[in-house]
């Protein structure tokens, strides 16, 4: 067992520093598929940099809730300024800018190596004028009040210790009439102590809420709830596929000399898929609007 496998989970930083999807593995895959890295565009990254459940299609669905999108069916910049909480390697951020026409996208990401990776990938495809990723905590966002039109997040809040504080920060940085839209885990029934420990040890999962309680968090932050969608049934086959992908990727990442995940990650992911399939855990797409 590698030393990284023995290190206890202290925060989401530990999880993402050992995550098998990294800038290095994305670059290795691009090199292998293309033979070179010349002339890359944002679309070349899309098969590799969308580390969330459902790929590009769910970017579109979340963006619709958040009010992000091109006008008149084209990709002309629509003036919308977006902040992406828990932005990871910046895949969705680049998509919102390049494909959906957001004028400016700022990612907030806690893990330094992923901030560096996100910005490197953004520069590689020439989007650095409109997309940036800052190192920061979504519970204390390093941005000014009323600076954006939309806040989005995809499966990032599961790591956030105080979701209420993060939603309050989203409210603070949104302009009047702005929207928050996120996807996250929900608990249809409380986790056992053993499962809660496994989810923490493997994936840095913090406290989970049920569907109603999550809406209450949004309301308590000051938002009007405008969208609630239970994704549990939709996620079950997607997560089965992701588990198979991670298992296949392990040998690939080891061969490439990049992080391959660790035993607790794979063990927790197997259990997560089971809990989703049994509808004991699930997913939610949630949207809120800040009053004018």
Cβ burial 103-113 (10 Å sphere, 16+ → b, else e): ebbbbbbbbeb
Report yes or no: 176 and 146 within 8 Å, Cβ to Cβ.
Answer: yes
Alpha-carbon distance 53 to 149, whole Å? Answer: 24
Q: What is the DSSP string of 18-61?
A: T-S--HHHHHHHHHHHHSS-TT--HHHHHHHH--STTTHHHHHH
> 50-80: per-residue pLDDT in tens?
999 999 999 999 999 999 975 434 444 457 9
Residue 141 is classified by DSSP as -
Predicted model pTM: 0.91
Q: How many domains is the chain built from?
A: 1
| CATH classification of the domain holding 148 | 3.40.50.150
> 210-258: per-residue pLDDT in tens?
999 999 999 999 999 999 999 999 999 999 999 888 877 777 666 666 6
> 12-58: per-residue pLDDT in tens?
999 898 888 899 989 988 998 999 999 999 999 999 999 999 999 99
Domain that holds residue 67: 9-185+207-233+282-289
Give SS3 for 109. strand
Report yes or no: 186 and 163 within 8 Å, Cβ to Cβ.
Answer: no
266 found inside a domain: no
133 found inside a domain: yes
User: Is residue 3's pLDDT more than 80?
Assistant: no
165 found inside a domain: yes
112 found inside a domain: yes
Query: How far is CA 34 from each of CA 29, 130, 275, rounded to the nearest angstrom?
Result: 8, 26, 38
96 found inside a domain: yes
Return the pLDDT at 1. Answer: 35
> 163-192: per-residue pLDDT in tens?
999 999 999 999 999 999 999 999 999 999
Q: Hey, what are 8's tokens?
A: 């206890």
Return the pLDDT at 177. Answer: 97
175 found inside a domain: yes
Alpha-carbon distance 259 to 17, whole Å? Answer: 8
Report yes or no: 67 and 150 within 8 Å, Cβ to Cβ.
Answer: yes
48 found inside a domain: yes
User: Is residue 289's pLDDT more than 60?
Assistant: yes
Q: Single out the residue of 159, 29, 3, 31 nearest to residue 88, CA to CA.
A: 159
92 found inside a domain: yes
Q: Hey, what are 292's tokens?
A: 């004018």
Beta bridge partners of 286: 182, 228
Percent of the chain exceeding pLDDT 90 equals 78
């Amino acid at each position: 067992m590698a030393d990284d496998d023995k290190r206890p989970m202290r925060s989401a930083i530990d999880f993402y520093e050992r995550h098998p999807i990294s800038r290095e593995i994305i670059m290795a895959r691009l090199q292998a598929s293309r033979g070179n890295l010349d002339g890359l565009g944002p679309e070349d990254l899309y098969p590799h940099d969308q580390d969330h459940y459902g790929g590009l299609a769910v970017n579109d669905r979340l963006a619709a809730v958040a009010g992000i999108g091109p006008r008149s069916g084209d990709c002309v910049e629509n003036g919308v300024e977006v902040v992406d909480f828990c932005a990871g390697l910046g895949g969705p951020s680049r998509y919102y800018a390049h494909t959906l026409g957001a004028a400016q996208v700022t990612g907030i990401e806690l893990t330094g190596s992923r901030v560096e990776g996100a910005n490197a990938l953004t520069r590689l495809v020439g989007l650095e004028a409109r997309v940036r990723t800052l190192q920061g905590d979504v519970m204390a966002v390093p941005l000014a009040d009323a600076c954006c039109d939309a806040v989005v997040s995809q499966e990032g809040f599961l790591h956030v210790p105080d979701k209420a504080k993060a939603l309050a920060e989203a409210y603070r940085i949104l302009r009047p009439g702005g929207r928050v839209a996120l996807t996250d885990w929900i608990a249809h029934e409380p986790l056992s102590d053993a499962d809660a420990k496994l989810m923490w040890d493997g994936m840095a999962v913090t406290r989970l809420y049920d569907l109603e309680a999550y809406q209450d968090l949004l309301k308590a932050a000051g938002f009007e709830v405008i969208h609630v969608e239970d994704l549990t049934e939709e996620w079950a086959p997607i997560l089965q596929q992701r588990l198979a992908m991670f298992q296949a990727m392990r040998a690939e990442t080891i061969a490439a000399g990049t992080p391959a995940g660790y035993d607790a990650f794979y063990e927790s992911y197997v259990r997560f898929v089971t809990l989703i399939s049994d509808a004991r855990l699930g997913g939610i797409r949630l949207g809120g609007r800040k009053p004018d």
